[in-house]
């Protein structure tokens, strides 16, 4: 059995070619997208892709693959937020 199947975590890679093509693996969902911003959920946090004339050319959530074309200006991650309760509920456990 492969490591991915045992842990349930998809491998995550980003391959950027000439700032025009971006391939991302390990994608669980795409939250929102337009021509300037694409927000993808990965096992390692929320990935925000910023650029110009961005187009999703391939999206397969079954295998966790996302391909984007356009001018890529920035990639940034936000940490995974623990949604197990509010701040006060975690303090008074």
Per-residue pLDDT of 11-67, as tens digits, reads 899 999 999 999 999 999 999 999 999 999 998 899 999 999 999 999 999 999 999
Rg (CA), the chain: 15
Write out the two tokens for 33: 């997208």
pLDDT of res. 1: 41
**Residue (of 62, 27, 65, 63) closest to 48 by Cα position:** 27
pLDDT at 10 over 90: no
- Residue 21's DSSP bridge partners are 17, 69
Per-residue pLDDT of 17-28, as tens digits, reads 999 999 999 999
Q: Is the pTM of this model over 0.85?
A: no
Strand order in the sheet with 37-42: 13-17, 21-25, 65-78, 45-60, 37-42, 27-33
pLDDT of res. 43: 84
């Amino acid at each position: 059995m492969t490591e991915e199947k045992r842990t349930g975590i998809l491998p995550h890679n980003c391959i950027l070619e000439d700032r025009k093509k971006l391939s991302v693996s390990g994608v669980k969902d795409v939250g929102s997208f337009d021509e300037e911003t694409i927000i993808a959920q990965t096992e390692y946090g929320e990935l925000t892709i910023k650029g110009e004339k961005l187009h999703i050319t391939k999206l397969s959530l079954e295998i966790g693959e996302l391909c984007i074309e356009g001018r890529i200006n920035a990639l940034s991650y936000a940490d995974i937020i623990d949604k197990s309760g509010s701040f006060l509920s975690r303090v008074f456990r």
